Structure 1
């Protein structure tokens, strides 16, 4: 359906694609992977015709419809979320508009003389509308929005009043409702909570069209895709299978390439050694010459590209008392909505509590209460002795000084630290070389999140309160963070929609429900085994 033939593309001085080729067939579900800046977004833009390749061709079969979801959501305002989603449904929304115009014309006495032709046209358009599933469209739009976490009130409300994250969901719903032949989804899992993520996973797995998507969520990738295309160093390499299979295959290929490289290096060293020893002897001249020629003809094996993943050994956190946070009889409401009605909770030292709950259950509110970012209406929240807290919330990224550089920000925070250790810290969180000189105002969401995390973990507190710490982080940074936090000796209270992160780090689950707090000993994996669900409110 879509083919890239020997595509080359350059952005300024940077070569993004060098004679790269790939294809997307009917019904295939492909995950697009590669380091940040490898060209994933450029590839999407070339397929949709927003950018042209410098050389080669991007071929899309005739009549193929493409739906493209990107993080860059345009202006939305003045309509309800349902109307906005239905408007993106492709042909059917055009037919619906004509149907409405014909209905108005039929009711207009001034057009009575056209009645016969209007009735005839109305019949044709109505049949087409029915054929396209038009009458079921609103129901389907509501179903998709509900799957993505919208309540009735939000569906009806003006889409302009929604936050950026919710507008993203509306844009995604438009593509899902459109059911194009090919869906191009750039990070669809970014702004979703766990319930919506699992719903989307099931929707995409049962969708019969083709799919090309990027995602930083490995579980999501594993459950949706059946092929991987890797962009790296300007080339496209295809792997059959899910993300886990791709990782195994890539590791295997790298190992083989390394072995080949080492064998060839040993052989070359031997040949060069012979040439050096005998080049001055006339008796060996012919042999020396033939070996020189042989060396010139040899195709050199490159060593495998090393992924830059830096591990950072965080200094141990000072020990806190055994009771880290204690909530007693906490009441909290927003307007008429009761969030907690007498909540009791004790978090003890070295517990890693994952907080789960459906949308609006009060997950972020719990973290804010513990962090002191909001007060309870009644009841008490007390922190134990010697507790030093680090609180990561999405708004922390707005507090960075836009004019300071990455390195300047780290220096301001740790004036006594030496330059080398701050550079090492920046490197772990993905800022290598000149990237430390970037000003904070030009950083992407992911880069800001990484910088805030670096600031928090350099001198680790003994109690980490993390609200969606993995939002915006790429897979490599997530792995680094999981590795660092696995050996962290302190206490954690966190909310995350990343199942890999939840499973790797939690040893206790707190589920907020309308009936109160349910607590589960053991981590997220045990919670799933015991409840038979991956998220509250979802069964099976």
Structure 2
């Protein structure tokens, strides 16, 4: 269906692809993986024709429709979210737009051409019906509801939505279009856990071909049946999900290393023989034949090791037993009550993950504990010797835009050595010249990584984390899970990443309209006990 045939591509001085080949067949669901900057987005852009390979070709079967979702959603305003989503569905969208403008004109009783408008309205309505427009609107609303839109948000001006919600509108357009091949570049960013699970189900049932990247391994594992890996200019295909790919890659590396070592031992032995006997006439023919044999041997390369940076974070100081105590807390915004008589005690070394649908009060709880907001009644007490680190999206706005990444770290830790700060930066994805970038030009993800690095270099004993995994790639996320796995402090966190939740939580706080539930045991036990992966979802 889509084939990459011996493609080569370089980007300024970097070679992205070198004589690489792979294919996306009908109905296949493929995960595209590779380190940041390996060329994943470039591959998508070559399929859509926005970029061309320097050599080789990308061939696409005739009449194949392609839908491409990426993080650059462009401008959206002036119409409803539903209209914006339907706009991606081809000719029916322009008919819908005309229908809406005729309906607006018919609301004006003094309009001079009312008869002509009514006549035209009848024609357009018939055409809209013929194109399946009414079913399309129903489907558009269904997709938006799946992505957690309320009716008000669907019908309100799309321009009033935040960047994250506009991203969901752009994603909904592609899903409604149901093309023959869907290219999804990080569709799991900006989605809460309920929307993620809905999208997972949608993509499993989708009959077209799918090529996607995602920093959410659980999401990828449940959808893809094949992995295409970009590795040092090559495209390597693996049949199986992400977990199978990881095992297979590790096994391949191990086998290649063993093969390399065997060949190196054999070469050393042969070279030793040649060195020893090259001056002896009696062994001349043997030496000659061994030299020829060595010239013909195809050399085995050692496996290309992915650079995985590990960083040992210093231990956190010990806190008292009661880390945070909330007593009879009341909190609301306007007419909306979030908490009423809420009690919670967080003890040392507990790791609470907070679950709840949008608007349930997850971020509000974290703000109350962090002291960013006050309760309307009741008390929030932080215990003795507690040193808190609070990570939120707001923390990223506090970075000094004129500082470089390295200066920002140096300012925070003036006594730390250059080497350890560079190791810290590399650990959070700032390698080479990246440390010279000014904070004002950093992407949302880069800012999040920098704030997280500063927080963990001198770790607090109580981490309050609001969506810490947003924008983190798979390798950085894995490093963070490893570091926090051996962290001896206390945690209270919100995350939509189920792998992160399962790996790090040992308590669950579930916020539902029916009430607040506390569970001993982590996220995995919560799923087993409740039979669902998030509040309000039943499997």
Give the match's secondary structure for 1:484.
helix
Listed one character per residue, the Cα deviations across residues 190-222 of structure 1 (whole Å, up to 9, x for unaligned) are: 000000000000010011111110000011001
Q: In 2 relative to 1, CA 157–98 (structure 1 residues): closer, same or farther, beyond 3 Å?
A: closer
Matches within 5 A, 1:36-51: 36-51=36-51
CA RMSD, 1 decimal: 2.2
- Gaps spanning 5+ residues in structure 2: where? 107-112
* Cross-structure match for 2:298: 299
CA distance in 2, matches of 1:198, 1:5: 35
C-alpha deviation, 1:374, in angstroms: 1.2
- Write the distance in 1 (CA, Å) between the matches of 2:497 and 2:446: 18
Separation in 1 of the partners of 2:535 and 2:101?
45
Match of 2:410 in 1: 411
Aligned to 2:202: 203
CA deviation profile, 1:365-403 (whole Å, cap 9, x unmatched): 100111111111221111000000000101212222222
Shift of 1:131: 6.1
Shift of 1:343: 1.4
1:45-66 Cα deviation digits (max 9, x unpaired): 1101111111111111111111
> Could you give the per-residue CA deviations for residues 252-311 of structure 1, whole angstroms, max 9, x where no partner exists?
111111111111111111111111111222222222222222222221111111121122
The separation in 2 between residues aligned to 1:417 and 1:356, in whole angstroms, is 37
Task: Report the alpha carbon displacement of residue 436 of structure 1 after superposing the two structures with TM.
Answer: 2.2
Q: Which moved more, 1:84-93 or 1:41-50?
A: 84-93
Task: For residue 91 of structure 1, report the CA deviation from its aligned partner.
Answer: 3.7
1:15/1:387 Cα in 2 relative to 1: closer, same or farther (>3 Å)?
Answer: same
- Give the equivalent residue in structure 1 for 2:10: 10
Task: Name 1:355's counterpart in structure 2.
Answer: 354
Q: 1:490 to 1:292 in 2, by over 3 A?
A: same
Q: Provide the rounded CA distance (Å) in 2 between the counterparts of 1:417 and 1:215.
A: 35
Pair 101,489 (structure 1): closer, same or farther in 2 beyond 3 Å: closer
Deviation at 1:449, TM superposition (A): 1.6
Within a 5 Å distance, the mapping from 1:50-65 to structure 2 comes to 50-65=50-65
- Provide the aligned length of Structure 1 versus Structure 2: 532
Specify the alignment match of 2:19 in structure 1: 19
Per-residue deviation at 1:130?
Answer: 4.9
Instruction: Report the Cα offset of residue 109 of structure 1.
Output: 5.3
Deviation at 1:408? 1.3
**Alignment check: 8 A CA contact 2:102 2:117 kept:** no
Contact 1:102/1:122 (<8 A) preserved: no
Q: Is the 8 A contact 1:225 1:241 kept in 2?
A: yes
Query: Residue in 2 aligned with 1:503?
Result: 502
Residues in 2 aligned to 1:99 and 1:348: alpha-carbon distance in whole angstroms = 60
Per-residue CA deviations over 1:87-117 (Å, capped at 9, x if unaligned) read 1112432454577799999x975699xx9xx
Matched, 1:178 2:177: yes
CA contact 2:366–2:466 (8 Å) conserved in 1: yes
Question: Bigger CA drift: 292-301 or 187-196?
Answer: 292-301
Partner of 2:153: 154
Q: Which residue of structure 2 aligns with residue 223 of structure 1?
A: 222
The equivalences for 1:363-378 within 5 A come to 363-378=362-377
CA–CA distance in structure 2, aligned partners of residues 146 and 412 of structure 1:
45
Deviation digits for residues 400-432 of structure 1 (CA, Å, limit 9, x no counterpart): 222222221111111111222222222222223
1:189 aligns with 2:188: yes
Q: 1:65 to 1:91 in 2, by over 3 A?
A: farther
Any conservation in 1 of the 2:33–2:227 contact (CA below 8 Å)? yes
Query: Are 1:343 and 1:516, in contact at CA under 8 Å, matched by a contact in 2?
Result: no
- Mapped to 2, the partners of 1:67 and 1:147 lie a distance apart of 19
TM-score by length of structure 2 reads: 0.94
Asked if 1:242 corresponds to 2:229, the answer is: no
- Structure 1 residue 465 corresponds to structure 2 residue 464: yes
The residue that corresponds to 1:441 in the other structure is 440
| Alpha carbons 1:99, 1:126 under 8 Å: kept | no
Alignment check: 8 A CA contact 1:463 1:490 kept: yes
Cross-structure match for 1:28: 28
Structure 1 residues 288, 162: closer, same or farther in 2, change over 3 A? Answer: same
2:382 is matched with which residue? 383
Paired with 1:463 and 1:375, the residues of 2 have a C-alpha distance of: 19
- Does the aligned pair in 2 maintain the 1:508–1:520 contact within 8 Å? yes
In structure 2, relative to structure 1, the CA distance for the partners of 1:176 and 1:111 (3 Å cut) is closer
**Greater shift after overlay, 503-512 or 437-446?**
437-446
| Equivalent position SS for 2:483 | helix
Give per-residue Cα distances to partners, 1:220-265, cap 9 Å, x unaligned.
0011111110011111111111111111111111111111111111
C-alpha distance in structure 2 between counterparts of 1:154 and 1:343, whole Å? 30
> Distance between the aligned counterparts of 2:536 and 2:52, measured in 1?
45
Q: TM-score, normalised by structure 1?
A: 0.94
Whether contact under 8 Å (1:226, 1:241) holds in the other structure is yes
SS of 2:89's equivalent?
Answer: coil
* 1:488-499 equivalent positions in 2, closer than 5 A: 488-499=487-498
Partner of 1:86: 86
1:335-357 Cα distance to aligned partner (Å, 9 max, x none):
22211122111111110000000
Q: In structure 2, what is the equivalent of residue 397 of structure 1? A: 396
**What's the CA shift string for 1:458-504, capped at 9, x where partnerless?**
11100000000000001111111111111111000000000000001
Change (3 A) 1:97 1:426: closer
When residues 409 and 98 of structure 1 are mapped into structure 2, their CA distance, relative to the original with a 3 A threshold, is: closer
